[in-house]
Structure 1
Amino acid sequence: MDALDVKILRLLQQNARMNVTSLSNELSLSRPSVAERLHRLEERGVIEGYTARVSPQAVGRDTQLVIQIADLRVTPQQFEQWAQTQEDIVECHRVTGHASHFIQAAVVGTPGLRELVDRLMDFGTVQTSVVLSSPVAYRPMLPPDASQIEQSR
């Protein structure tokens, strides 16, 4: 990965709607060159897809949660399959430590919180935290040495 690839990643994470022409203009590269770089990044799995970030509050999910599940009463695979079917669950991570899974969820107020916790209690011990603020809600993902790569160009 070189400095241009890092710049492409940075730009697309700021605005996934940028087309090849816009990227080409921003990077002062030809459209075919940018298209080839994008194709390579996609083929290598660096770019997994293109999405829109949606505000949970703007779509009525005003309560965001971080939930830990410990002492599972089913297999991790059974729990993970169930979690994939739950619309309130935004992310689910299997982790090391006392808790086996960390979940991020977005629900509609206290009733939504209560309903999700009630469903989760069937699977194990539930510890829930309500998100008060998110000082780092999203950060573009770049290689650890991105600043050095960009400076080398």
Structure 2
Amino acid sequence: MKLDPLSKEILNCLQENARASYAEIGRKVGLTSPAVAERIKKLEDLGVITGYQAKIAYAKLGYQLKAMVTLRAFVGKLKPFLEQVKSYEEVINCYRITGNENIIMEVVIKDQMHLENFIDRLIVYGEARTHIVLSKVAGSNSLINPKKQ
């Protein structure tokens, strides 16, 4: 599906602030509130917009570190891990991937000891590698941002 530049701008606005009013979005993209509402409804009906969610400041909840953790599962341990990972409160996102590792997880952790305990829970399933996130470089909306195309 190909989106026109205005729809891309509306998606960009929603990704920045999903609670923005139609009027606010309209001012940014040059449309009336009803036109914005109509476009958003169409994007929802087409399945382009699948939901809305809150962005959480994990540091405010005591999770001071973010890490990307890969797992290379031991033979016979991938399926049990896929069931267990759903219960890990530290895991924000978890993906099956290609390559030497089977899994990559985005996790939030409170401190170094918390990270150590988390890794200890993983090593029964496979070989884990941890990469501490220093900063965010780009957002998730880079594919639809019309200014970048």
TM-score tier (shorter): 0.7 to 0.9
- 2:87 paired with 1:110: no
1:59 aligned partner: 61
| Corresponding residue for residue 9 of structure 2 | 7
- Which is worse superposed, 32-41 or 66-75? 66-75
- TM-score, normalization: structure 1? 0.82
Distance 1:19 1:72, change over 3 A: farther
In 2, Cα distance between the equivalents of 1:28 and 1:138?
24
Larger RCO (CA within 8 A; separation ≥ 6):
1
What is the aligned residue count?
147
1:130, distance to aligned residue in structure 2 (A): 2.2
Return the TM-score normalized by structure 2: 0.84
Q: How does 1:44-55 map to 2 (within 5 A)?
A: 44-55=46-57
1:37 is aligned to 39
- Deviations along 1:90-116, whole A, 9 cap, x unmatched? 111111111001111111101211111
Query: Which residue does the alignment assign to 1:122?
Result: 124
1:40-85 deviations in whole A, cap 9, x for unaligned?
A: 2122222222222222222210122111100334454432232122
Identity of aligned residues (%): 28
Give the one of 88, 99, 103 matched to 1:86.
Answer: 88
Where does residue 23 of structure 2 map in the other structure? 21
Q: Which runs of 5+ in 1 are unaligned?
A: none
The alignment yields a C-alpha RMSD, in angstroms, of 2.3
Structure 1 runs (4+) greater than 4 angstroms displaced: none
Partner SS, residue 129 of structure 1: strand
The CA deviation at 1:124 is: 0.9
Structure 2 unaligned residues grouped into runs of 5+:
none
